[in-house]
Amino acid sequence: MFQKLTNYIKKLDLESLSSERKEVLNPFIEYLQEKINSGGNISLNFICTHNSRRSHLSQIWAQALAAHFQLNQVTCYSGGTAATAIYPMVIQVLEEAGFETVQLSNEGNPVYAIKYKADSHPIIAFSKTYDHAFNPSIGFAALMTCSDADENCPFIPGTEKRIALNYEDPKAFDGSPLQKSKYEERSRQIATELFYVFLKIKKS
């Protein structure tokens, strides 16, 4: 893993997690542990309304942290109830955390290749609906990263488990002096919580 990213991960503060958030994360931990115990591959689809901010932060951190904990059977995806575009500040805060990114296209919904270590396959990131052909259609967990998507998608075909994580949207601070700090705050929160989740998994 890139050294800058390793250093970032080492500084994640698990003491910042409240008992309430740990309760929210427990169903995710239980699902992963059951899947690990039964063997086979694990597909996680992180879902938000526009697949532009929280769902991508969650997908990318989850994939990197699964690798950090050598849970190589985990593959992470993301989607929305509608497709828009990855918000540029998401890419910026990931780069500052230590990910390497390359923008592969320049249209309104650009495609990015994001890497957490030199010899890893890049995470291909672009905004898409949760049922896009790029995502799994059966046998996956749906991780709802915003309350709007959770409320407006009462049924997601093909999912084995649906888990609500619900993060506050940094979009509320777009264009304000707090914009960058709020995106960094949300990225760090997501990274910390996912670190906690994978830390709890016992390998069979």
Q: Which domain holds residue 68?
A: 3-8+39-169+185-199
- Work out how many domains the chain is built from and give that number: 1
Q: Which residues pair with 143 in a beta bridge?
A: 46, 163
- Give the largest CA-CA distance in the chain: 48
> What are the structure tokens assigned to 59, written together?
């997908």
- What are 12-56's pLDDT values in tens digits? 999 999 999 999 999 999 999 999 999 989 999 999 999 999 999
Q: What is the CATH number of the domain that holds 70?
A: 3.40.50.2300
Q: Tell whether the model's pLDDT for residue 154 goes beyond 90.
A: no
Judge whether residue 153 has pLDDT over 80.
no
Residue 21 lies in a domain: no
Mean pLDDT of the region 129-136: 96
What's the confidence (pLDDT) of residue 150?
Answer: 60
Residue 152 in any domain: the answer is yes
* Mean pLDDT for the stretch of residues 60-75: 97
**The pLDDT of residue 201 is above 90:** yes
pLDDT category, 168, cuts 50, 70, 90? Answer: very high
Q: Is residue 66 part of a domain?
A: yes
Within a domain: residue 92? yes
CA 27 – CA 162 distance, rounded (Å)? 9
Residue 82 lies inside a defined structural domain of this protein? yes
pLDDT: which is higher, 114 or 203: 114
Does residue 187 contact residue 97 with C-beta atoms inside 8 Å? yes
